[in-house]
Amino acid sequence: MNSIEALKDLLYKMADDQLIIGHRNSEWTGIGPLLEEDIAFSSMAQDKLGQSEHLYNLLNQLGEADADTVAFTRNAPQFHNCQFVELPIGEYDFSLIRHLLFDYAELLRFESLQNSSYQPLAQVAKKFFGEIKYHFMHASTWVRQLGTGNEESSQRMQLALDQAWDYGLGIFEQGPAEEVLISEGIFIGESELQAKWYKGLQPILEEAKLKIPAKDQWSPIIGGRRGEHTKHLQPLLDEMTEVYSIDPTADW
Amino acid sequence: MNQEEIRNILKEVKDPEIPTISIVDLGIVTGIKLNGEDVHITLTPTFAGCPALKLMENMVKDRLDLVEEIGQVSVETSFETTWTTDMISEEGRKAIQQHGLAPPKRNCSNISMEVLEDTACPYCGSDDTSLKSPFGPTLCRSLHYCNNCRQAFEGFKPVG
């Protein structure tokens, strides 16, 4: 795989992650447990969708179809997002744990990408990093609050963490061209990112009085980056593309 | 026409969501290039998901198209310069306050709940305020409550 193909692979998985988690976040609009939380998840959804669009635009500059076509005309097997982001929003405990595990990975990913040798990516990473700081701050505050809240809240958060963990590890599924990305200075690579993530998460979860599953129990759920998805992705795509499918030229 | 004159004209173009502040004072006009009579403007997004990006490009083009001395106008949005709230001018900060929003704190590359909590009320100036949520009705706003004048207010979020 040459460096352009490797770069496209990296951009696709990041753009698809942003699009799908953005759509999932938006499902809290109108039904958040507090008005402020409703607004928070809706705002973060808007950020993620905006970020996905800019990543698709970078792909467009590399010869791929335009953002709308790429976002709205592919089926599940053509998506490169990790399975974690496509899982249903579940109860609020699950959404918050996913929010922390995923957004902390994003925070570190875009922090490091600010130094990418591919300048257009470094530029957008700088912008995204400033926005994701807010997402991470929101996630860590709530996880700490509920992890140390009362018996029920801490039990539910622990259960959600146990259920989410292996999917969280799947964020770091290696692409087919990690070595190229690393040697070209485009990206530090998934395994270094995962190491940073695990190290940084420990004090955060410790403060929240939550236990990370023991390392010998880890079994990363991968496949998403190669187009293998859970049964939850296609219905999400069908819903997201409903208007586009009826009238691809619809505008306002 | 020189850059300064064009910059002054662009001061008439206001942020669609905060109509008291011009896009120049907001700090998003990052390039004014002249090529004979033709003008090329570069804008930088405040937030990646800002729904007003395209609208602001069109507003800039429409305004400059009205100027007889200017030939072709082109406008692009680019991430080359990363916008931060420190790029908002003094005049811009006053305009934000005039709109009833607390202006963003300066030098906030390390944002935290504590930094956001420490926001003065735009109505009475009191520092005795509480942060309600770092997310508000638009991407650039946070929600606060003033314990002194007992009013909810919004702040313009610092972005570093």
The answer to whether residues B146 and B123 touch, using CB atoms and an 8 Å cutoff, is yes
Whether B134 sits inside 8 A of A130 (CB atoms) is no
Question: In chain A, what are the domain boundaries?
Answer: 3-246
Q: Confirm or reject contact between A33 and chain B (CB < 8 A).
A: no
- Tens digit of each residue's pLDDT (9 = 90 or more) over B86-122: 999 999 999 999 999 999 988 877 888 888 999 999 9
Cα atoms in the Cβ-side hemisphere of radius 13 Å centred on B22: 15
Residues of A in contact with B45 (CB under 8 A): 127
User: Residue-wise over A234-248: b if at least 16 C-beta within 10 A, else e?
Assistant: eebbeebbeeeeeee
Whether B49 sits inside 8 A of A134 (CB atoms) is no
- Tens digit of each residue's pLDDT (9 = 90 or more) over A39-60: 999 999 999 999 999 999 999 9
For B3-83, CATH gives 3.30.300.130
B51, B111, B143 member nearest A36 (Cβ): B143
A50, A124, A130 member nearest B50 (Cβ): A50
Whether A141 sits inside 8 A of B113 (CB atoms) is yes
B49, B137, B160 member nearest A130 (Cβ): B160
Give B 40-79 residues with CB within 8 A of chain A. Answer: 45, 47-51, 78-79
B49, B79, B82 member nearest A46 (Cβ): B49
Residues of A in contact with B55 (CB under 8 A): none
Alpha-carbon distance B31 to nearest alpha carbon in chain A (angstroms): 16
Whether A141 sits inside 8 A of B160 (CB atoms) is no
Average pLDDT along chain B? 95
Determine the pLDDT at residue A92: 97
Determine the pLDDT at residue B56: 96
| A137's tokens | 């701050």
The ranges of chain A with pLDDT < 50 are none
Residues of B in contact with A128 (CB under 8 A): 48
Whether A130 sits inside 8 A of B50 (CB atoms) is no
- The SS3 of residue A134 is helix
- Tens digit of each residue's pLDDT (9 = 90 or more) over B44-71: 999 999 989 999 999 999 999 999 999 9
The DSSP bridge pattern shows strands B73-77 and B141-146 to be unpaired
Whether A43 sits inside 8 A of B135 (CB atoms) is yes
- Give the CATH H-level superfamily of domain A3-246: Ferritin, core subunit, four-helix bundle (1.20.1260.10)
Determine the pLDDT at residue A38: 95
CA B19 to chain CA centroid, Å, is 10
Q: Confirm or reject contact between B157 and chain A (CB < 8 A).
A: yes
The answer to whether residues B76 and B43 touch, using CB atoms and an 8 Å cutoff, is yes
Average pLDDT along chain A? 97
